[in-house]
Amino acid sequence: MSSDELTDEGKRRREEGEDDESDPFKRSRRVERSPEKTGADRKIDRVMKLLEDLASDVKDIKREQGIYAEEIRALREENKKIMKENEEIKKENEQAKRDVRNLTSRVEYLEKESKKDNVVITGVKIDTQDSDILKEVMENLIEKTMNIKVDIKTAVKLGEEKCLLHLETADKRKVMQNKKKLRDFKEERIYINDDLTVAEMEMKSELRKKAQEARSEGKAVKLGFRKLIIEGKTWRWNRKGGKLDQPRN
């Protein structure tokens, strides 16, 4: 090839090269490689991933807290409702207790009223069930042992040596005032007492029990009406509590 031909070939190739540089489609065929990530870049990526996970966890926690807050609110409302119901029940119970106490007092009062003119006689052998015969026997006994006359309204046999007498109020008073004369009656050991209510019998039993305990300890004891005096200190019967209250210091 001559020198002129070589010159023309080189010129042609240079022109083609310029065309390639100016053609964007031809330049796009070239593949550019992204630079490799350094250790610092990888650490940043891990931190970003952790932050994303943390943000997701926080979002879940907030959602759960919202659910818990609603449950807590509902529980508080339920608790308020239960407390209110309990207060109402408490008030009803207190009222019921007052009603029971009032009813008990009323029953005791009526029982006491029905027994106030009665006396119970023990120690006398009773061989009859006939009320009229028993009335006559008891009237004669009272006149014989106490030297007083009474009109017995009804007489009821309670046991082999025990009977209940219902008297006029004035006759009941005479019998109780003269019953001490029975000590002089040597033929039989006869006792006359009030016809007590159930509450009064319980009180009397407790007083006697406490008196026996004190006497067994060598203490001076004196029985009174609804009270007990031990070594000069007074124990009083609490009617509402149904117990013997200790003396105050």
State the pLDDT at residue 217.
Answer: 92
C-alpha of 50 from chain center: 56
Residue 35 included in any domain: no
Q: Which residues contact 190 (CB under 8 A, 6 or more apart)?
A: 121, 122, 123, 124, 141, 145, 182
Q: Are residues 111 and 131 in the same domain?
A: no
The tokens for 186 are: 């040597």
Q: Are residues 146 and 179 in the same domain?
A: yes
CATH number for position 171: 3.30.70.1820
Q: Where are the beta strands (DSSP E) in the chain?
A: 118-122, 152-159, 162-167, 191-194, 221-224, 227-230, 233-238, 243-245
Q: Are residues 126 and 100 in the same domain?
A: no
Q: Are residues 179 and 125 in the same domain?
A: yes
State the pLDDT at residue 5.
Answer: 52
Q: Are residues 95 and 141 in the same domain?
A: no
State the pLDDT at residue 62.
Answer: 76
Instruction: Point out the domain boundary residue: 94, 115, 136.
Output: 115
Residue 4 included in any domain: no
Residue 32 included in any domain: no
Instruction: Point out the domain boundary residue: 65, 97, 115.
Output: 115
Q: Are residues 71 and 107 in the same domain?
A: yes
Q: Are residues 64 and 133 in the same domain?
A: no
Residue 69 included in any domain: yes
**Alpha-carbon span 171 to 153, nearest angstrom:** 10
State the pLDDT at residue 135.
Answer: 94
Nearest residue to 102 via CA among 17, 94, 222, 198: 94
Residue 6 included in any domain: no
Instruction: Point out the domain boundary residue: 115, 138, 173.
Output: 115
Q: Are residues 123 and 94 in the same domain?
A: no
Quote the domain boundaries for residue 240: 199-245
Residue 37 included in any domain: no
Q: Are residues 151 and 140 in the same domain?
A: yes
Burial of 228 per CB tally in 10 Å (0-12, 13-18, 19+): buried
Q: Are residues 67 and 101 in the same domain?
A: yes
Residue 122 included in any domain: yes
Place of tokens 């007492």: 193
**Alpha-carbon span 99 to 49, nearest angstrom:** 74
Q: Which residues contact 227 (CB under 8 A, 6 or more apart)?
A: 207, 234, 235, 236, 237
How many domains does the chain divide into? 3
Residue 159 included in any domain: yes
Q: Are residues 134 and 160 in the same domain?
A: yes
> How many other CB atoms are found less than 10 A from the CB of residue 184?
8
Burial of 167 per CB tally in 10 Å (0-12, 13-18, 19+): buried
For the CA atoms of 202, 205, 209, 210, the dihedral, rounded to the nearest 10 degrees, stands at 60
Mean pLDDT for each 10-residue chunk of the chain (249 residues)? 51 53 50 61 76 77 78 86 90 90 87 92 91 93 93 93 94 94 85 91 90 92 87 86 78
